[in-house]
Structures are given as C-alpha cells and as structure tokens.
Amino acid sequence: MFKKAFAIIFVLFLASACVYAATATPKPKAPYKTKAFEVQTKDKFIIKSKLYYPRAKGNEYPTIVLLHSLGYSSDSWGSLPETFVKQGYAVLAIDLRGHGLSNKDAKFRLKSWRYFTNKSFVKYPYDVIAVMNSVKQLSKKVSFNNYAIIGGDIGANTAVSVAQNYPTKPKAVVLMTPYQELKGINIYNYKLPTTAILVMCSRKDKYAVCQEVMLKTFAKAPYVINNTNLITNGMLIIKQDAQCRTKTIQFINKYLPPKKITAQ
C-alpha cells in the first residue's frame, strides 16, 4: 500500500514538473555579449579586461575605454557598460595594474596597488595601450580609430596619457577628479588639440576645482566643466550623482555617436 501511494505521488510530482517546465517563461538573453582578455606586459605583469559589445550583428562599434579609480576595479562601473552597449557601443573595461583581476604577475605572485611606488603607477598608460592593441588584433567588434575614454582620478590621469601617446586620438575624454600629477603620472604639459574633454569634480574640493582650471591649458577642442555638489571624487561622481552620469552619456553621444544596432 505504501509503495503504491509513493508511486502515485511520484507520478504527480513529475507531471507538475513537466507542466511548470512547459509554461515557465524563458529567461531573456542579455542585450550584450562579453569576452575576457589577458595581456602580459613587457615586465611580465598580467593585465585583464572585459569587452562588452552588442549581441546583434555588426563589427567595429565605436568603442569606450573605461579606466576605474584608485582602489576600485572594472566591475565598479556597475550598469554603465550595459547602458552604452544598448546604445550601440563596444565597451572595454580594464582592471588597472594591481586592481581587480590584474593582481598577479606571470609567476602568479600577488601584486596589490597598495604597495606600489610611482615607478609602477607610471606604467598604467602603457598597460592600457598594450590592452587596446591586443584587443584590436583579436576582436572585430572594437574601433580604436573611433573611440572615447572615461576615467576616474588615477584612471583620469591615465586616460590623458593614453590619449596623448596612442597613434589615433580619442573623439572624447571624460575625466573625473584629474590632477596635474597623480602617483607620478604628470599630464600638465600634454596637448589634446582635437579631443573634446568633459571634466568633473566636487565643488567642495577646492584643490580639484583649481586643477580643472589649470588643466584647461592642454585642451584646444571643447573643454566642459560639470561639477557635482556632492562630497565625492573619481568614478564615484557618476555613480552617486545621476545628473553627472546623464551628462557623461550625453557628452559621449555628442562627440562619439553610437552605431545603429542591426537586429539578428
């Protein structure tokens, strides 16, 4: 009797499971795909990054390079990569040396930014350029003839140095709390005559506000200042201030128009 009752319950369970499987709504696919990249630098440090790009058909999307703030990682950008990909961009988010997944050398020894000297920080722009060159060779989705860079504090200084040294200049750069010199990355004498620049910092950070004015000397194209009233800095500006986030997206859209996404 017990076996018969158990068999009936088991059959009913299987039937209900099949009905649920048949009626359950399939989970929608993300509107983008991702691909991880790894580059070994000349001094045998491993730099990792992630490329986001539209799931739809198409190659060579206008590309946005994201360079996070000191002490953060590429994951700290939150939904920003997805927002740009939905518009028709490819997004390359890089973990800077000693941050995120870029925390080991070729011998798998842990290396944290906390113990870096300026000798290590000044390698950041060359790391980023190495990643860009590698991704350009390995993916048809990116275009570094048509790109922009967004960076916070150490990522902002790195962005200017990359823009100065990369053969093709970016269409736009967004700098959050940049400084003339930070961790040895000096950008005061750089010239970006064709790149539109949006600069942001906290209005309550008087030193950063002064830096914005002084750094205007390297800009010959549009140089827009859009500061926040919040007490914050670096990439946290567009994470905590919705107006600054919107301004960033609009600025990129204006100087680096997205590509129309073709349906699959």
66, 92 Cβ separation under 8 angstroms:
yes
Q: What is the dihedral of CA 158, 86, 72, 119, to 10 degrees?
A: -20
Of 189, 191, 192, give the one whose Cα is nearest residue 181: 189
Between CA 41 and CA 171 the distance in angstroms is 26
Asked if residue 263 has pLDDT above 70, the reply is no
**The architecture CATH gives domain 31-255:** 3-Layer(aba) Sandwich (3.40)
pLDDT band at 42 (very low <50, low <70, confident <90, very high): very high
- Alpha carbon 91 to its chain centroid, in Å, reads 6
pLDDT on residue 18? 47
Domain boundaries, the chain: 31-255
pLDDT tens digit string along 224-243?
Answer: 999 999 999 999 999 999 99
Confidence (pTM): 0.89
The average pLDDT across 158-163 equals: 97
